[in-house]
Structure 1
């Protein structure tokens, strides 16, 4: 569903007030990129279709990973690349969630808190795998938000329902493929692993440590995916999400931003929430990850090390053939006018805008003005 409003519209309405939110330089830089995305401020290029001859002007994307408008192509490219890594085995969706007691620490020391989350989740699965004599694998995707933009750090993980033994042979954890590990046992191990990992990076005071061990931590393992295709669909839904997508923004007026959200305490009931411009952007900014932080990570048999050395053996074992990424690349440059021709860039331009001779003869892509 196409939205008439964008996160960028909130930034326009907030104006210089963004400087009063107490954000760091990296957060401000990210928000400026989102504000200018696909506007004349970013420059652009002029394309011609090699079939119908249509000429169009396109403004450049910011390509920031937090931008709601820049994730579509990245998501499709990433998913297609991951298809080649999928094995014909059961896959499980496992969620590791941090307790709210760590939220304040996550705001001030996000790298340490989130690195520990990723590390502890893998150590937990690795421990259970070793108990079975198997090397497991995992793809972990960090999300830090709840539906109402509150801080809610958690990992969405894809875990094959089996692993490789010391001789390099694959074994499923169960013959029926319907069970991974007991979640209560995983939760206790995850809690201990996380506190241990975080203690290596930060000094945890005694009161916080006691609070963390007093809580029942949440690890949730969903039933296995129905097919390899459903794993790919899941990847596309979760990998390149941002804190809020533009289609959820219902209204932006002079004072408030109204957006939709699902209340999972009431079985996912869809509701609306209104926040001031400043509160909306404050909540949005707390989900901007530290510079160069890797939020999608691969572990075990799905890691880059395994792909370079041993993953080829698994592919041969399952008789899998490599898949080409060429069809996707061709599709991304397809003419929107005729749907058949390929777009060829004939000129590029900077922030001053397109050359005068092209204005009026091109189908100019609609864009949002920047103040």
Structure 2
């Protein structure tokens, strides 16, 4: 049991009956707590060389879980790498006014407005470059709801191709992004859509945002221009990663939690100690609603768009092996932690799959090993 599982296990009843979490929050908490629990099932592996057995418990597959969230992030990164056109990309971040954050926390359906606004201003910027040709870029949007201090701070990371495909099949490179336009257009598009959804009571906040951000909401790029592989490394950090890594939790004494982070503004090392229930509240608010898409594709990368033959020519064919490589948990662990989970710890040979066990069986580890040895002996005798 890692430290995050211990924190949530210790305060499970308090979370359930005092915080009144959403259904999706409770579902992900329960998954994370039981991740890697042998009694919930797993797979038995056997070393044919020395006869050693290894039982690998099932994992929860929740993005809230530190280990499963990292695996999900790697898989999405690999999948995205395969989709990218082999041209320069730019990683832009679209932020919002602090006064708007609580609206998205209380009414989570408003998060769709962020995606719609970003997609509309990017499409419009490229359309303005040549209205007759209608150049369409490829862009991928990732919603990120937390800052390094774990507080609620929704913003969009967007990977945009430095160029677009016209209606007549011509590709045009675009090296200059009009950030003044992006800032003001994003502010206007988002505030108008929120006003439409929330009605006249939103007018006062809308007016305050215009007066506080006369040049628009902050939109910046990091890095300014890079190849697809480098761009993926940057945006891959934000693809469904867990809210906090266990390595950032320094101390837990049952009532207080100490964690650290490097402040975004100046990269200064900050260590913060807060009550455990405040820590839990900071974490679970970032669990999205069930089936809510945190990653969305637009322009040339949209799923409904038919990719023409000319576009196929600029898609990198070297990405497919990477995608296949990350789809297996063994390769993911080997890549992340530098060790092979299926290497026999005794003789260093590769272990082979023997049998699956599911949670309805509820076997003890001793019973699992005895059953596996019987099955292994049966395989050798039949051979």
Instruction: Give the TM-score normalised by the residue count of structure 2.
Output: 0.83
Aligned to 2:274: 275
- Which is helix-richer, 1 or 2? 2
Deviation at 1:36, TM superposition (A): 1.5
What secondary structure is seen at the aligned counterpart in 2 of 1:198? helix
Aligned to 1:286: 285
Aligned to 2:151: 150
8 Å CA contact retained: 1:42, 1:62: no
Structure 1 residues 41 and 330: CA distance shift in structure 2, 3 A: closer
Cα deviations across residues 15-36 of structure 1 (Å, max 9, x unaligned)?
A: 3111212322222222122112
What secondary structure is seen at the aligned counterpart in 2 of 1:264? coil
8 Å CA contact retained: 1:48, 1:346: no
Q: Which stretch has the larger CA shift, 280-289 or 336-345?
A: 336-345
Q: For residues 169 and 357 of structure 2, what CA distance do their matches in structure 1 show?
A: 52
Aligned to 2:242: 242
Aligned to 1:163: 164
Aligned to 1:138: 139
Q: Which stretch has the larger CA shift, 57-66 or 216-225?
A: 216-225
Deviation at 1:87, TM superposition (A): 2.3
Deviation at 1:328, TM superposition (A): 3.6
Deviation at 1:195, TM superposition (A): 1.5
Deviation at 1:189, TM superposition (A): 0.3
Cα deviations across residues 107-143 of structure 1 (Å, max 9, x unaligned)?
A: 210122x100011011111110100131112111111
Aligned to 1:313: 310
Structure 1 residues 30 and 272: CA distance shift in structure 2, 3 A: same
What secondary structure is seen at the aligned counterpart in 2 of 1:69? helix
Structure 1 residues 54 and 244: CA distance shift in structure 2, 3 A: same
Deviation at 1:310, TM superposition (A): 1.4
Aligned to 1:367: none
8 Å CA contact retained: 1:9, 1:252: no
Q: For residues 270 and 360 of structure 1, what CA distance do their matches in structure 2 show?
A: 51
Q: Aligned to 1:193, which of 189, 194, 203?
A: 189
Aligned to 2:112: 115
Equivalent residues in 2 for 1:67-86, closer than 5 Å: 67-86=65-84
8 Å CA contact retained: 2:24, 2:288: no
Equivalent residues in 2 for 1:223-242, closer than 5 Å: 223-242=223-242
Q: For residues 292 and 161 of structure 2, what CA distance do their matches in structure 1 show?
A: 25
What secondary structure is seen at the aligned counterpart in 1 of 2:234? helix
What secondary structure is seen at the aligned counterpart in 1 of 2:66? coil
Structure 1: segments with no counterpart, 5+ residues: 363-371
Larger Rg: 2
Instruction: Give the TM-score normalised by the residue count of structure 1.
Output: 0.86
8 Å CA contact retained: 1:48, 1:343: yes
Aligned to 2:180: 184
Q: Which stretch has the larger CA shift, 191-200 or 227-236?
A: 227-236
8 Å CA contact retained: 1:95, 1:154: yes
2:349 is aligned with 1:350: no
Q: Which stretch has the larger CA shift, 54-63 or 76-85?
A: 76-85
* RMSD after superposition: 2.6
Deviation at 1:69, TM superposition (A): 1.8
Q: For residues 223 and 40 of structure 1, what CA distance do their matches in structure 2 show?
A: 44
